[in-house]
A = this chain, B = another copy of it.
Amino acid sequence: MKVGFLGLGNMGAAIAANLLKAGHEVIVWNRSKLKAEPLVAAGAGLAGSPAQAAAGSDIVMTMLADDAALDATLSGSEGLYQGLRPGSLHISMSTIAVATADEIAAAHGGRGQSFLCAPVFGRPEAAKAAKLFVVTAGEAAAIDRAAPLFAAISQRVFRVGDKPSAASLVKLCGNFMILSAVEALGEAMTLAEKGGVQPAQLLEVLTGSLFDAPIYRTYGTLIAERRYLPAGFAAPLGLKDMRLVGASAEALRVPMPLLSVLRDHLLQAIAQQGGEVDWSAIASSAARNAGLPG
């Protein structure tokens, strides 16, 4: 299939590489061209603008840093709205606000273009290994059309409804769940440590019994070793996602006190340790507040 791919950060570059490997014809674009070079070397075409990437493509995938970057890619004479042919399909893979997803869906619809939200779960290593989980929503026909692409990059695809923004909401809920687990681990491990039990020992019990899930293993180890640098997912990005959860919670009138704890601990981590740390550094907020080194 002919695919345009916009946004070549850690996640995007790994996904685009897997599309190439699977035999698709990929034309890439990135704000800074340097990041496109390895993909071009591997056989990808290089577009000078989003519109150019869209010109000959059936499907354009975007994996951009945030809502503003996505908007910038969509708008203007060289943007996707202009560049995408009627009948073509835009698949947004980044974590965006529910309201943004609704707006984009309406804008594409008004131009006869199709739109899917298809955010993914998985860190960069999972993206490289084509082991992502894709959560997608939108018209069934569009999802069917995208199936070969999703197959090339993921271990499983979840369909969560006809409205694209439903996938954004599910993805945001998932990120909230992950960070909630981190917070719980952070508080429990701090309590254990001050009570004379090694955090690693507590973690072994948890992951060896009821919490036998990768999320607890991965983050538990980071916390036990106080390894918050380098960031797999930087705290300010986590804060952005929690802000998007909060925006939906406010719009839908849903009090979420646990979300508030997460936001406060992210703010503390950034205020005390800077914006470079991993979002799991919220666990160090818990530790510091108890007088531990953190």
Report whether B255 and A264 are in contact in the complex, using a CB–CB cutoff of 8 Å.
yes
Q: How many monomers of this chain does the complex have? A: 4
Say whether A142 faces chain B, with CB atoms less than 8 Å apart: no
Report whether A271 and B291 are in contact in the complex, using a CB–CB cutoff of 8 Å.
yes
Report whether B264 and A187 are in contact in the complex, using a CB–CB cutoff of 8 Å.
no
Say whether A278 faces chain B, with CB atoms less than 8 Å apart: no
Say whether A98 faces chain B, with CB atoms less than 8 Å apart: yes
Which residues of A from 238 to 294 have beta carbons under 8 Å from B? 239, 243, 245, 248-250, 252-261, 263-265, 267-268, 270-272, 285-286, 289-291
* Given known A-B contacts A135-B205, A191-B256, A197-B166, A210 and B289 have beta carbons under 8 A apart: no
Shortest A280–chain B CB gap in Å is 14
Q: Whole-angstrom distance between the alpha carbons of A47 and B281 in the complex?
A: 54
Report whether B191 and A161 are in contact in the complex, using a CB–CB cutoff of 8 Å.
no
Report whether A290 and B254 are in contact in the complex, using a CB–CB cutoff of 8 Å.
yes
Q: Whole-angstrom distance between the alpha carbons of A239 and B252 in the complex?
A: 13
The one of B174, B187, B249, B272 in contact with A176, judged by C-beta atoms closer than 8 angstroms, is B187
Q: Whole-angstrom distance between the alpha carbons of A164 and B270 in the complex?
A: 27
The one of B205, B243, B254 in contact with A191, judged by C-beta atoms closer than 8 angstroms, is B254
Say whether A156 faces chain B, with CB atoms less than 8 Å apart: yes
Say whether A100 faces chain B, with CB atoms less than 8 Å apart: no
Q: Whole-angstrom distance between the alpha carbons of A214 and B156 in the complex?
A: 20
Q: What residue in chain B is nearest A204 (Cβ atoms)?
A: B158
Q: Mark A170-209, 1 if CB is under 8 A from B, else 0.
A: 1001101110110111011011101111000110111011
Which residues of A from 111 to 153 have beta carbons under 8 Å from B? 121, 133, 135
Report whether A261 and B257 are in contact in the complex, using a CB–CB cutoff of 8 Å.
yes
Q: What residue in chain B is nearest A264 (Cβ atoms)?
A: B255
User: Given the complex, which residues of B lie within 8 Å of A252, measured CB to CB?
Assistant: 191, 194-195, 290
Report whether A191 and B249 are in contact in the complex, using a CB–CB cutoff of 8 Å.
yes
Tally of A interface residues using CB under 8 Å: 74
The one of B197, B212, B249, B256 in contact with A160, judged by C-beta atoms closer than 8 angstroms, is B197
Report whether A268 and B290 are in contact in the complex, using a CB–CB cutoff of 8 Å.
yes
User: Given the complex, which residues of B lie within 8 Å of A161, measured CB to CB?
Assistant: 196-197, 201
Say whether A169 faces chain B, with CB atoms less than 8 Å apart: yes
Report whether A264 and B271 are in contact in the complex, using a CB–CB cutoff of 8 Å.
no
Say whether A215 faces chain B, with CB atoms less than 8 Å apart: yes
Listed A/B pairs (24) with beta-carbon separation below 8 Å: A98-B195, A121-B209, A133-B208, A133-B210, A158-B209, A170-B201, A174-B206, A174-B209, A177-B185, A177-B211, A181-B184, A183-B258, A187-B256, A187-B258, A187-B259, A190-B256, A194-B254, A243-B250, A250-B267, A253-B291, A255-B290, A264-B289, A267-B289, A289-B289
